Amino acid sequence: MPASRSVVIGVDSSTQFTKAAAVDADTGALLAVGRAPHTVTGTAGARESDPEEWWTALVTAVRSAVRDADVPAASVTGIAVAGQQHGLVTLGPGGRPLRPALLWNDTRSAPQAAALAARLGGPEAWAARTGSVPVASMTAAKWQWLREHEPERADAATGVRLPHDHLTERLSGTAVTDPGDASGTCWYGTATGAYDREVLDLIGLDPALLPALAPTGATRVGTLAPAAAEALGLPRTVAVAAGTGDNMAAAVGLGLGGAGLLDHPVVSLGTSGTVFAATRARPAAPGLAGFAATDGAGTYLPLGCTLNCTLAVDRFAALLGLDREDAAPGGGDGGGVVVLPYLDGERTPDLPHAAGLVTGLRHGTDPRAVLGAAYEGAAFTVLRALDGLLAACGLDPAVPDVRDRPLRLIGGGARGRFWTDTVRRLSGRPLVVPAAGELVALGAAALAAGAATGSYPVALATAWGTGVGEVLPALPRDEETWDRIAGVLTAATPTLLS
């Protein structure tokens, strides 16, 4: 590829891996993907990672992507990071982390979240002003946990960042965030588009420690800092975008947003399960994360999130000695097995101290039915969150026009046959499974191209066709399985799940 052609790099820094996609900015062609792993540590609700390892992984993944794409470094014109949301990164002298980051799925801050939710007028007031009610995953609750459990580190902090903020600052030397990822902190007001000073006062967080707010994730915040350019082997002229959270980047990659698809639901099956849609509405409902979108077109990205999805089901497969695809529906010969695979506690429903629950076992229960029930329990929990999301956006999930809109199924689980079959059976909806497998990285690449050219990233992704894929027709909804799981969840809450 000649150096005059533009290549952009989209970085997906997730819980367990960094992926860097080298993309032709003109056509959206995915030229190569570099990968590098992260380490997650912790027990008894703790989940932490070293942000320095994220940076090392980013450098490794970007260098690999550029090498494998076989493009000259001079052809790279832009880079953007999409990161796992909610994580708390505390910085000290020289902008280096004071301690490992508290990740989104660290549930130790559940007591702090509950205490915060009772303040400022209660859950409804929190949802109205910040879009979300504090739960263990939210960054405000994690900061409060740090203040209570490690006050010397909280006092020593010279900067507080989200994961993608930290990496963008390492790339550009600029402390900046975007509205999308900032809206997952509970200290950003989606109603005002600014940090909420009353919340910051409540949690004792000096606003001077926070990054500046860029208008969009595609805002050009600078070019590569000298140390970053040297580490990546790229020219200093590469534009750095503000970047965003992973869910917001996936939405961009799917073409969701202003001048794109509105009110079209997405189900993402990964370590966590998420449901979201780009909408003009600004829903304020407890149990829902009322995020801002990152495209700067007056849109929001309300999202429901479950903690236990593909990783939890894989754990059941390992316990049973089965391959992940060697499953059978839980209501088959097993006689009605129900699994609530809440191995890491749960966020939606808000059961941070829950453990996994298995019921309905008999002597003749087929282990494959138990594994199938784990799939069903995880998919039910995600789809139940979807119904709540649609209702909060003023859409009736039972109305034909809403019910018949296809679900866009993404994430690692979207590549699994049994995952796809289970979602089709329990949702009763048609599915679109995008052919592109790296939608977060591709969305980040569209943000990078926006920073390099000034183009609107959702329009770019739409032109690239990254959200296009196979359409699977609807199956009749399995009401019997749905009602069986719902009955167990109701009966077990809160007695067995708290």
Just list the catalytic residues: 246
- Angle 121-143-155 (CA atoms, 0-180°, nearest 5)? 120
Q: Is the peptide bond before 430 cis (omega within 30 degrees of 0)?
A: no
- The whole-angstrom separation of Cα 165 and Cα 248 is 14
Parallel/antiparallel/unpaired status of strands 431-434 and 407-410: parallel
Crossing angle of helices 417-427 and 479-492, rounded to 10°: 90
- The whole-angstrom separation of Cα 452 and Cα 238 is 8
- The whole-angstrom separation of Cα 447 and Cα 219 is 8
Backbone φ and ψ of 468, nearest 5°: -80, 140
Where helices occur in 299-395 by DSSP H, the ranges are 310-320, 367-392
> Which residues face 81 on adjacent strands?
11
Q: Which of 280, 240, 237, 251 has the alpha carbon at shortest distance from 180?
A: 251
Parallel/antiparallel/unpaired status of strands 176-177 and 159-161: unpaired
Q: Which of 163, 162, 253, 176 has the alpha carbon at shortest distance from 216?
A: 176
Q: Quick check: 299 and 280 in contact, CB under 8 A?
A: yes
What is the CA 186 to chain-centroid distance, rounded? 16
